[in-house]
Amino acid sequence: MSKRTAIPLLTVLAFGVVTLIFWKAQSPDSKPPSPTALEPQPAPAPRLSDLAPAPDWSELDPWQEKVTRSAFIEMMDSVFTVSSAWRDWFIVGDDSVEVKTSDPEAPYVLRFSESTDTTAGPRFWRPAKELPPAAVDRPLEGIRIAIDPGHIGGDWAKIEERWFQVREGAPVREGSMTLQVAKLLKPMLEAQGAEVSLVRDKNEPVTSYRPETLMSEVHDSNSETPQKLAERLFYRTAEIRARGDKVNHEIKPDLVLCLHFNAEGWGNPLVPRLVSNNHFHLILNGAYMDEEVTLEDQRLEIMRKIVERIHPEEAALAESVAAAFVETTQLPPYLYEPNSRRAVNINNNPYLWGRNLLANRIYRCPVVFLEPYVMNSEEDHARIQLGDYDGLKEVGGKLRPSIFREYAETVATGLSDYYSSKRSE
């Protein structure tokens, strides 16, 4: 036998031995490996939102048997979701709901109660009905309020894409303007007895992250550069999560006021356009889109909102503030498209809309998220250019107060009206 034929023959013999061993291992008489010989398998990684921590479902344990089955379904169908797809992740039984987690063998089970349990669980915020009566001139006595001036402003405004300039006018920076309103609003609320904290008090980020430190977190995109994606992750996600940590673990308020100005598309950023439209609305947490419900951290936040009964207090606060804005400004409501898959109307009030924004989702208390005025409307842009001032100035043939003071005073009025009525009931 030549060397050229010996090698294939040896290979065939070796293959035959391996095959016999394999079939022996698979035969009915063979014994499975001892359990002690198996490597422990790690728990499946949860599917999460960007930069979200892994959910701790035990946080809901104190809320067992605190919500009825009918109340749970009503909240899911009318406020927190936009279709019936949520039922793929929340399996509702007669006595409980099973929420799918990253471990398919270990869903979280929340037991329903036969009647609504009004006993408060371990939440840091207090609804108005649980507060003692207050003096007529101090309706906010003892209420803890966090003011969250939306965006960052200052030198960060261009990165945030909340900056524009019309011809030689002063640049419009939303984050700088919301901070200006916050600093006017704070003493107004304190004069009514509130304990007020600013989530930020300067035009600088709360988060320690910066775009360059988030480059490893960005995902490939065919339409945007890694730098652009890292910037967006910085100001839309890392910054809001840092504010959420401050609200939930340091300030622990009874409510958060998220101050924003609205805008409509201004086209070319080098030649922005002004529009005639003007409007106002408030955003409540809700309308989780189908793909958002697939994220485990967001399922936990939905459950937290329901068991802590955040929505009823949030809606009542928003209605009072909206009424004050309508009376003061006469602004029409901003209306989302019919059958929108990203917003739900709340209480048939045209000024109140449920949307799943990061801030109103992760702040663990009622959030009044304001979107008044249109920064690039002809009227509001003219008012913004005047800056802050006492008294009245002429704008478009009308005498108008400072838009910043009008904003602050209207919010203060709405809160005063709400707590004056609810604390005396």
Tens digit of pLDDT per residue, the chain (425 long)? 333 333 343 333 333 433 433 333 344 444 444 445 456 666 677 899 999 999 999 999 999 999 999 999 999 999 999 999 999 999 999 999 999 999 999 999 999 999 876 666 789 999 999 999 999 999 999 999 999 999 999 999 999 999 999 999 999 999 999 999 999 999 999 999 999 999 999 999 999 999 999 999 988 777 789 999 999 999 999 999 999 999 999 999 999 999 999 999 998 888 999 999 999 999 999 999 999 999 999 999 999 999 999 999 999 999 999 999 999 999 999 999 887 889 999 999 999 999 999 999 999 999 999 999 999 999 999 999 999 999 999 999 999 999 999 999 999 999 999 999 998 65
d(CA 68, CA 74): 10
Q: What count of other Cβ atoms lies within 10 Å of the Cβ of residue 397? A: 5
- Tell me what pLDDT residue 277 has: 92
d(CA 400, CA 378): 14
Phi-psi region of 393 (alpha: psi -120 to 50; beta: other; left: phi over 0): beta
**Global pTM exceeds 0.85:** yes
d(CA 351, CA 338): 14
378-385 vs 403-422: helix crossing angle, rounded to 10: 100
Angle at 73 between CA 79 and CA 315, to 5 degrees: 30
Q: Which 3 state secondary structure label does DSSP give 417? A: helix
Q: What count of other Cβ atoms lies within 10 Å of the Cβ of residue 377? A: 20
- Tell me what pLDDT residue 20 has: 36
Q: Report the DSSP pairing between strands 144-149 and 195-198.
A: parallel
The domain limits of the chain are: 128-422
- Distance from first CA to last CA of the chain, Å, rounded? 105
**β-sheet bridge partners, residue 163:** 173
- Tell me what pLDDT residue 7 has: 37
- With CA atoms as reference, report the closest residue to 90 among 78, 105, 102, 73: 73
Structure tokens at 112: 């329903």
d(CA 92, CA 399): 57
3-state DSSP helix/strand/coil percent for the chain, to nearest 5?
Answer: 45, 15, 45
Identity of residue 287: A
Buried b (16+ CB within 10 A) or exposed e, 42-55: eeeebeebbbbeeb
CATH C-level class of 128-422 = alpha beta
Q: What count of other Cβ atoms lies within 10 Å of the Cβ of residue 288? A: 28
